[in-house]
Amino acid sequence: MFTEGLGPQLYTTTPNFCLTDFKDVDYTLENLMGANGVLLGFVGDIWQPTSVRRILWLQRHVGKFALMGTPVAILVRDHTQTLYGFQMSSPLPAPFPLLADEDGDVHDLFMMNDHPGLLLIDNQLALREKWLMSQDRLWPKMKDLVDAIQQLA
């Protein structure tokens, strides 16, 4: 799927935001940053089977990203109470922030309302890479993610 024209434009400065997780802890883009930026995931309803599969996939790989200095956060179009229910019912709660974007305002800011995807943002808040996914794909190939993160080092 050709996605270059969709979503935010590469190499532009991304907007800061403040969202809350299920514990009512506030997160901003700036405080999510690791040594080599941050990987932001955008999904819709957390209980959709594809969203659950995407979160489980990231759970398996988050350690590798952390070792590379790039933490993960997922922005979800749901209430904090719904995220709480998800975390409490999961046998393996997400080891990264699940942030409630209830009204989709941050999804709108990043032009990510119409599709799930991952954005790689560097420490200068510039969008370095984006992967917009169709409903039948979870995430990009691991090699593509690792290569993009390594370029930030």
| pLDDT tens for each residue of 75-113 | 999 999 999 999 999 888 889 999 999 999 999 999 998
Q: What is each CA distance from 28 to 21, 54, 66, in whole angstroms?
A: 11, 22, 18
Q: Which residue has the higher pLDDT, 138 or 145?
A: 145
Q: Which of 104, 117, 102 is nearest to 10 (CA)?
A: 117
Q: Which residue has the tokens 């709108």?
A: 108
Q: For the chain, which residues make up each domain, given as ranges?
A: 21-152
Mean pLDDT of 20-27: 96
pLDDT (tens digit per residue) in 110-140: 999 888 999 999 999 999 999 988 777 778 8
| pLDDT value at 4 more than 60 | no
| pLDDT for res 2 | 42
Mean pLDDT of 65-73: 96
| pLDDT for res 71 | 97
| Fold category of 21-152 in CATH | Glutaredoxin (3.40.30)
Please, are residues 131 and 112 in contact by the beta-carbon 8 Å criterion? no
| pLDDT value at 1 more than 60 | no
Mean pLDDT of the residues in the chain:
90
| pLDDT for res 5 | 60
